[in-house]
């Protein structure tokens, strides 16, 4: 019955083992190493030099504090966005009037790069945590709203009727039927949100340098410490992969009941 799910890889002609992503990363490092050795310029350290600098970044107190600052802002911005976006998206998906009101507003906001708002927000809220967290929040909100909206719209009418016949109120229908039924779609939105949060986290720190991964990166760049620059890029990349993989683990656990397996390619954005 559920054995069918395990055969997804075979269709594509080759099987994807657990080490395939590892090989890809290794391949990338090899290409980098050879490329850097051939070019032999100061501004492009070899992969080995960059990797050697990673422990220095992670080992120093300053480095760790900056990275944890970044992660904290990202976590707060992302959580706030999830809390606000999911209910809004679900209500929009079930009430046409609410969707008609919010859709045009969101359509205008959607294509604006949220990091571009950073200078204005800094003007109002300063260069501290609040501005950066707010920008992350703004960047993540829209995709989650959109996915929750689409998910709620697609919920089978008869499923909702079944709940109504059990005597559920509209709020109970939303919380106990629409939310779980739309969960696979919502979590797909959250995954996009996670990647966007990471990108915005770095960008915001680049614009408002005070602390964080972006801060270390650009300070090192200013001082010509190119191995540190690339070490930081590796750290940010690794953070992205780890967070994404962890989230996907959680997602699969939560929606194992769903009819189809939703395979989202890693970092498709």
Segment near other proteins (CB under 8 A); pick from 131-139, 176-184, 227-235, 244-252: 176-184
Between residues 181 and 232, which has the closer beta carbon with respect to other proteins? Answer: 181
Rounded to whole angstroms, the Cα distance separating 187 from 196 reads 14
Q: Tokens at residue 15, please? A: 């099987």
> Could you tell me the smallest distance in angstroms from the CB atom of residue 189 to other proteins?
17
Residue 256: DSSP 8-state: T
Residues 62-81 that bind other proteins (CB under 8 A): none
Candidates 162, 222, 245, 250: give the one binding other proteins (CB under 8 A). 162
Residue 59's alpha-carbon distances to 64, 71, 78, in angstroms, are 7, 17, 27
Where are the strands (E) in the chain, listed by range? none
Which letter does DSSP use for residue 175 in this model?
Answer: I
Asked whether position 90 contacts other proteins by CB under 8 A, the answer is no
87 binds other proteins (CB under 8 A): no
Binder among 51, 84, 150, 180 for other proteins (CB under 8 A): 180
Comparing CA positions, the residue from 188, 117, 196 lying closest to residue 148 is 188
Residue 248 CB burial class (10 angstroms; 0-12, 13-18, ≥19): middle
187 contributes a contact to other proteins by CB under 8 A: no
Helix axes 61-94, 179-207, angle to 10 degrees: 140
Residue closer to other proteins (CB basis): 63 or 163 = 163
Among positions 54, 67, 181, 236, the unique one binding other proteins when judged by CB under 8 A: 181
Q: From the list 54, 138, 177, 239, which residue makes contact with other proteins (rule: CB under 8 A)?
A: 177
Kindly state whether residue 237 participates in binding other proteins, applying the rule CB under 8 A.
no
The residue within the footprint of other proteins, chosen from 37, 39, 154, 166 (CB under 8 A), is: 166
- CA gap 22, 241 in Å, rounded: 11
Q: Does 167 bind other proteins (CB under 8 A)?
A: yes
Dist CA 140 CA 152 (whole Å): 19
The residue (of 168 and 233) whose beta carbon lies closer to other proteins is 168
Regarding 20 and contact with other proteins (CB under 8 A), the answer is no
Which member of 168, 206, 233, 234 binds other proteins (CB under 8 A)? 168
- Residue 245: helix, strand or coil by DSSP? helix
Return d(Cα 245, Cα 250) in angstroms, integer. Answer: 9
Instruction: Give the integer Cα–Cα distance in Å for 11 and 166.
Output: 43
Binding mask 119-158 toward other proteins (x if CB under 8 A, else -) reads: -------------------------------------x-x
- φ, ψ for residue 237, nearest 5 deg: -60, -45
> Between 2 and 41, whose beta carbon lies closer to other proteins?
2
Gap between the Cα atoms of 218 and 225, Å rounded: 10
The one among 1, 40, 97, 171 contacting other proteins by CB under 8 A: 1
Q: Which two tokens stand for residue 179?
A: 């939310």
For binding to other proteins (CB under 8 A), which residues are involved? Answer: 1-2, 156, 158-159, 161-162, 164-168, 172, 176-177, 180-181, 183, 255, 257-259
């Amino acid at each position: 019955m559920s054995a069918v799910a395990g055969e997804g890889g075979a269709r594509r002609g080759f099987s994807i083992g657990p080490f395939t992503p590892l090989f890809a990363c290794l391949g990338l490092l090899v290409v980098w190493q050879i490329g850097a050795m051939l070019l032999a310029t100061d501004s492009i350290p070899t992969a080995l030099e960059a990797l050697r600098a990673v422990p220095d970044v992670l080992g120093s107190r300053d480095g760790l504090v900056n990275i944890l600052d970044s992660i904290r802002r990202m976590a707060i911005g992302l959580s706030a966005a999830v809390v606000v976006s999911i209910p809004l998206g679900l209500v929009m998906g079930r009430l046409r009037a609410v969707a008609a009101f919010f859709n045009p507003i969101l359509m205008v906001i959607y294509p604006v790069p949220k990091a571009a708002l950073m200078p204005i927000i800094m003007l109002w809220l300063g260069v501290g945590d609040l501005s950066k967290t707010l920008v992350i929040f703004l960047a993540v909100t829209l995709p989650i709203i959109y996915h929750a909206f689409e998910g709620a719209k697609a919920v089978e009418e008869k499923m909702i009727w079944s709940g109504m016949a059990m005597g559920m109120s509209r709020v109970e229908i939303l919380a106990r039927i629409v939310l779980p039924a739309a969960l696979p779609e919502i979590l797909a939105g959250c995954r996009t949100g996670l990647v966007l949060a990471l990108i915005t986290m770095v960008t915001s720190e680049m614009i408002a340098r005070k602390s964080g991964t972006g801060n270390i990166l650009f300070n090192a760049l200013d001082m010509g410490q190119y191995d540190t620059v690339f070490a930081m890029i590796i750290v940010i990349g690794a953070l992205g992969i780890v967070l994404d993989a962890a989230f996907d683990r959680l997602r699969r656990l939560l929606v194992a009941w769903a009819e189809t397996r939703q395979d989202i390619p890693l970092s498709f954005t």
